[in-house]
Structure 1
Amino acid sequence: MASMGKSFMFLTFVGLLVCTAVFQDYWQPRCTKPFVDVGGRCIFFSSNKAPTYEYYKVTYKSRVLSVPVLMGWLHANLGCEAIDDNSRLLTVRSEEEMRLIADYLKNKAHSATHTVFWCGGHRGRLSDPKDIDHETLHDFYWHNDAQPMNYSNFVKKEPPKRRFGDGYCVYMEFTGTQLVMGVDSCHKKWSFACELQTGAPKRPSPFETSKTNL
């Protein structure tokens, strides 16, 4: 009887180990802080914090970063990449994605602190990382997409007094119930939102690039 009891305990122990291995991925959160899970996507909001600080510390992959809450569009994009090589300013490609983000901002974020934030949209297609195809300036694109946005909900405004006087970079504004898109000067300092591209190939660090060019 004693040997049967020991065998049962041993089999139970082995079973627990197997179950732990099988469900380990299930138990782990999909998104690692500071990213949050919004509809199955890992998103970081620079304003998702106590509203009394201009910047705060973020620990991610054993790195500690000081993240400003407010930045211009270009610096915000670089800020996303600083947190993770596969992070970039947020894209929203459907009404459903827009609704999920609005629901998160309404129920789980400091939405009243900074209602406007930069996303990854811009006027004109990027023909290369440093230049814009000027023939496409009447359309808006996400990052390096070859085609214009297939979904948008820009707030309609009066035509600007000068050509493209309303700016080149796309922001999102939370109205309290929904998200709407707008365009303004890329130099405006607003909060920003990043998305983590899961499964994307690792991009070289700018520090690694500069070393190879020396």
Structure 2
Amino acid sequence: MSNKSYYIMSCSQLKRTSSIKKKTLIWIIVIWILITLINFYYTNFFILAFIWLGMSLIFGIVALFQIVKLISERKNLTKFRVLKVIVFILLFILTFHRKIPNGIIEKTDWTILKNKRTEIVQQIKRNEIKGKGISGNGIFELPFEFPIVSNGGNDVWVYKNKENNSVTVQFWVFRNFFDSPSTLFVYSDDKGRIADLEQKLKENPKNNWKLDKNWYRIYGGF
């Protein structure tokens, strides 16, 4: 075999190996995105804490390993090594500070499903969706599982004020249990409830804000 042929084969093998590594990196990113979405919409709060800890440790260790490799290969550094360091550091940061990706998902979710949630509110007003309680208030189970408009089971909390024919509907964005605060999208055309919601905005504008007319993003109860 000539030196030229050997060189061409070596280059071809190197490109193939590099391609496999790049595909692996892409798959890691895709799997991370899928796990993040599943955690946001489906995962129980108690399990989520263990997943968050495990993923943070894994990406932290891998990122540290990649940094050590970067330093050891500094004299013969490749672009792909730098890319891996950047990717794993970002995945660690975004996993550890989960409010960042969750905030992006939440804003995207609101934009995409706003019309669907508005339609649900109108159906509740017309009594097309009903709760199990005699009073007509409380938890209402929505008659579909997808799309997910309220995390933790696609049910909503409803309060109908018969005195002024108004309604308040809570959609869970992140559903905690016991005394832990949940995150909500709240619709209300009840003046008394709106006053309470506006007060929440003043008390904690960092976590509470108005989304649209009669719509609010609320952290905790009100």
- TM-score with structure 2 length normalisation? 0.34
- TM-score with structure 1 length normalisation? 0.35
Select the structure with the greater relative contact order (CA < 8 A; seq sep ≥ 6).
1
Structure having the larger proportion of residues in helix: 2
Which structure has the greater CA radius of gyration?
2
Structure having the larger proportion of residues in strand: 1
